[in-house]
Amino acid sequence: MTSQQILRIKSVTIKNFRAYHGDSGPILFSRDQSSPVTIFHGTNGLGKTSLFNAIHWGIYGKERKSKDHKTKSEGLVNSYVIDTISDGVDDEMFVKIQIENQNEDLQYEIQRKILLSKEGIGTDLITSDVLGGKVPRYIVANNEVIFSYKDPDSDDGELLKTSNPITVSSLLKKIFPRQLSNFFLLDGELLDDFMNSNDAFVKNGIEQISQLPLLVNAVKKIKFTSNKVGTGATSNRTNYTLTQDKISKKEIIRDKLKKDLPQIASETSELERQLDDGIRMILKYDADTVKTNQEQIEINKTTLKLLEVNIKDNKSKIQNLVYQNLDKMLMKNAYESASIKYKKYVEEKKLPSKFSKDILEQLLHTHECVCGRNLDEDKTAIDKIQDMLSVSYDSTLGVSMNKIVEQTSDIVNTSKDNLSLVGEIKECNTQISKYRIKRIDVKGLIESLEKELDKIKDEKLEDIRTNNNKLKIQIKDKSNLAHEKTLVLNSLNMELDNLDREFLKLKRLTIKDGHAVNKMKLAEYIETTLNKSHEQLRKEFVEQVQSATQELFMKTGPQARVFESISIDKNTFAISALRAKDKSKDISRGQAHVLGISFINAIRKITTKNYFMIIDSPFNNISQQERIDVCNEIPTSHKNTQLTFLVTDSEYKANIEEADLPSVRETLKKHNIIGCEYNLIQKPLAKIKSEEYFETSVEDYN
Amino acid sequence: MIQLPPGWFSSNFYYDVDDTEVNEFYSKIENKSPTVTKSSMFFGLRQWDIFRYSLALGVYHKKDLDFKRVSANIPTDWLHDQDIIAMFAAVFSSKDVSLEILQDPKKIQIMCENFANYGVRKLIEINSQIDMGNPIKEYESLLTSIISQNN
């Protein structure tokens, strides 16, 4: 082990702490290396444990835990002070501890104080955390601590001071770790705790004092860092692979989409072409077309009617020609014959004239000629008239005959031109044929137009419309599909861009991870090495402690010869003594007591911290021989250690005559190791009503 | 207009009412008489037009046919010039007829009725051969045939 840091208590000053009333003044502790032992002795209940607790409270701000864990109703402050505190007169309780090094240089001064005052009149008892017990309600208590310490960078002996409770607590924790309290503030009644494998306080203390966890903590930190690096590396590698897979899958989808889109576009174009055809069909057969068609039909029907009228007209013309001429042609010869006769009658002047029968008869009756000549005188004339009367006719008939003759002549003359009649009839027939042919054409045209119209009105057109609507829906669907696919494609492209970036990043990280893996391997190697070192150090520490404990115990332990060895659990540091025989038999209380002291001494011996050691009841429950053995061993086992024993008078001064054994004091005196010796004496302090108050005073033994 | 002396012809001319075909031909029975048959050349014409054509056919064939005159049903009030001219031509075309026949209008009537009585049968015959699509075809053929014969 390296050079030890030695700390000694120079003095302890107590005021109004429990049994101690008033200011004790500095109680000096022995700092002589040759006589390092300071003794406080007294009868039971006089304040040994209070003194022990005062020092503990001074350092840690709380009393040491009691074996029986009883809650004391009395507080930290002397009860007389509490009961007699007056209005407007403040009081206080404090413990001041001065600590120096082996060169008697003052290193630390701890002054922990409770300031007391009286406020109000409430006399009911309340529990005060500050005072650590029940006190009247009117008591007001406030903590105060002042810590003075040597400036490590200065040699002028001046101490730096701080009164900030947090700073003080932090500084004291570093100098006097709580876990180490067992090794310098030792309760003899609790020595057998060292054999309890479940006592974490002991284990933590040993680990703190030995600094063994340093390597384990280093391993933990390396492992944590390595895991962090490793986790990241694994994560990056996994993400790298996953991203690569993701990219591949998305690229497959994208390629499929890229193939799909032109196909959809082609299908859409085909559908649009079909729709265009359909629309053209619809447009072709739209209302205007129908109207035009109907108009054409009407025009052609009119033409047809006209043709039919023409045919009819020609037929009528032929009919008229036939009707007007056939009878005349049939009687052509008769007309001609009659006409010849008529001409002859005309030439012969036989035709009836206006001088008709009536006139002739009138002439005969009047006998007067038109010229006024008297016919009675002309018999010849009368005879002639009478001849004429035999062939004369009614004048009406005469007029008609002239007309008949005339018109018959006309008929005969007209009938001579009968060839032109034939030509006329032929022309009419030609016209009729022409009109008939034209009529067939027009009828065909009308039929064709009507068929076309029927077609327009046909359900086929409705089918086209239905089909067009279907095509529109299909085109819309295709368009939507293309739109959706385009969106997905765009989204995929974006995702792929992001993934590509992520992939590149992960690629870089994965390369870095290669280095991380190397770091992990290095960390693993360091972990293994440190773990081995730790195991080795722990083993060596345990072996050293075990060896030192065994050496001390074998020398000082009562009937130690029944034990063949001492064993320390390397994990819990629980100590046990192994019997040579009767292995199941328990270790005695005295043996356990010495074993605990031996264990503490062994640990202190091989660690760097050589602090003062204050033991309350060091000889509790052990035999006088064992006490003497312990005392005999002190000069060698506690070399350079300031020892303070708080002992009862019976343990300290008793002389066991039957066994012819010296007392503890005689033994220590024999070795000349007692530097300071104090007697704790109880004195009456006051009597208030029926209540008597006592105080403990620390008096020099001599 | 030719005006014959009143009462010169009897008030009605005769046709052979005993012959059913002739009787129906002159009557106003649809599909029997051409004057009330739409497809006939004589549709809407007078009985006198049938009589004149019958007369012409009789003259053309130079044949007459006497018949029992039961009742006279063709009123002379409806006579037209062309009917009178035709009847006079038919009568005066005969060699043995002279102007004196004018003194005997009854004879003229009988001669014409007899020619028409023959001719009406020819007319019925022609009419029965009528093509429904061309009702004057037979008449037209007859006319062109006569004209071609004459030339």
Contacts of A315 in chain B (CB under 8 A): 134, 136
Give me the residue from B6, B41, B56 closest to A319, CB to CB. Answer: B41
pLDDT at A469 > cutoff 60: yes
Q: How far apart are CA B83 and CA B46, in angstroms?
A: 11
Q: Which sign, positive or negative, has the C-alpha torsion A687, A692, A697, A702?
A: positive
Chain A CB within 8 Å of residue B102 CB: yes
Residue A19 lies in a domain: yes
Output the pTM of the full model.
0.50
Residue recorded with tokens 């029927």 = A454
Q: Per-residue confidence at A371, pLDDT binned at 50, 70, 90?
A: low
Tell me, yes or no, whether A30 and A167 share the same domain: yes
Tell me, yes or no, whether A153 and A250 share the same domain: no
Tell me, yes or no, whether A223 and A347 share the same domain: yes
Whether A471 and A271 have beta carbons less than 8 Å apart is answered as: yes
Residue A437 lies in a domain: yes
Taking an 8 Å cut-off on Cβ atoms, the answer to whether B3 and A400 are in contact is yes
Q: How far apart are CA A51 and CA A57, in angstroms?
A: 10
* Shortest distance, CA A403 to any CA of chain B (angstroms): 7
pLDDT at A362 > cutoff 70: no
Strands (E), chain B: 12-14, 72-75
Residue A366 lies in a domain: no
Whether A549 and A598 have beta carbons less than 8 Å apart is answered as: yes
Task: Please give the residue of chain B at the shortest CA–CA distance from A419.
Answer: B147
Does residue A136 sit in helix, strand or coil?
A: strand
Reduced to 3 DSSP states, what percent helix, strand and coil does chain B have, rounded to the nearest 5? 55, 5, 40
Chain B CB within 8 Å of residue A404 CB: yes
Taking an 8 Å cut-off on Cβ atoms, the answer to whether A335 and B142 are in contact is no
What pLDDT, in 10s, does the model give residues A295-346? 888 999 999 899 889 988 888 888 888 888 899 999 999 999 999 999 988 8
CATH number at residue A645: 3.40.50.300
Taking an 8 Å cut-off on Cβ atoms, the answer to whether A399 and B3 are in contact is yes
Q: How far apart are CA A55 and CA A596, in angstroms?
A: 22
Cross-strand pairs, A13 = A96
Tell me, yes or no, whether A205 and A68 share the same domain: yes
Please compute Rg for chain A using Cα positions: 78
Whether A369 and A363 have beta carbons less than 8 Å apart is answered as: yes
Across A196-211, average pLDDT = 72
Contacts of A424 in chain B (CB under 8 A): none
Residue A195 lies in a domain: yes
Task: Provide the domain count of chain A.
Answer: 2
Min mean pLDDT across A231-240, A266-275, A548-557 is at A231-240
Element (H, E) at A470: helix A459-556
pLDDT at A545 > cutoff 90: no
Taking an 8 Å cut-off on Cβ atoms, the answer to whether A338 and B102 are in contact is no
DSSP A319-338: HHHHHHHHHHHHTHHHHHHH
**Listed residue (A615, A614, A568, A569) closest to A595, CA to CA:** A568
Chain B CB within 8 Å of residue A325 CB: yes
Chain A CB within 8 Å of residue B103 CB: yes
Across A447-463, average pLDDT = 77
Interface probe with A: pick from B1, B2, B38, most Cβ of A within 10 Å = B2
Q: Which sign, positive or negative, has the C-alpha torsion A129, A130, A135, A141?
A: negative
Establish, for the pair of chains A and B, how many residue pairs have beta carbons separated by less than 8 Å. Answer: 124
Q: What domain range includes position A480?
A: 216-356+393-525
Taking an 8 Å cut-off on Cβ atoms, the answer to whether B53 and A325 are in contact is no
Give me the residue from A331, A393, A403 closest to B90, CB to CB. Answer: A331
Q: Which ipTM value was assigned to this complex?
A: 0.96
Tell me, yes or no, whether A511 and A565 share the same domain: no
Q: Which residue ranges make up each domain of chain B?
A: 12-150
Contacts of B59 in chain A (CB under 8 A): 330-331, 333-334
Residue A381 lies in a domain: no
Polymer length of chain B: 151
What pLDDT, in 10s, does the model give residues A54-72? 999 999 998 887 655 444 4
Interface probe with A: pick from B85, B122, B126, B134, most Cβ of A within 10 Å = B85
Of A505, A525, A545, which marks where a domain is finished? Answer: A525
For residue A606, report the phi and psi dihedrals to the nearest 5 degrees: -105, 5
Residue A508 lies in a domain: yes
Strands (E), A560-634: 563-568, 575-579, 609-610, 613-616
Tell me, yes or no, whether A318 and A343 share the same domain: yes
CATH number at residue A347: 1.20.920
Residue A521 lies in a domain: yes
For residue B32, report the phi and psi dihedrals to the nearest 5 degrees: -110, -45
Tell me, yes or no, whether A166 and A313 share the same domain: no
Q: How far apart are CA A163 and CA A166, in angstroms?
A: 9
How many Cα atoms sit within 13 Å of A339 on the Cβ side? 18
Q: Angle at the Cα of A46 (from A626 to A117), degrees rounded to 5?
A: 140
A613-616/A5-15 β-pairing: unpaired
Which two tokens mark A438?
Answer: 């034209």
Across A86-112, average pLDDT = 90
Q: Which sign, positive or negative, has the C-alpha torsion A614, A617, A621, A627?
A: positive
Residue A543 lies in a domain: no
For residue A388, report the phi and psi dihedrals to the nearest 5 degrees: -65, -35
Whether A25 and A12 have beta carbons less than 8 Å apart is answered as: no
Task: Please give the residue of chain A at the shortest CA–CA distance from B51.
Answer: A327
Taking an 8 Å cut-off on Cβ atoms, the answer to whether B85 and A404 are in contact is yes
Does residue A27 sit in helix, strand or coil?
A: strand
pLDDT at A370 > cutoff 60: no
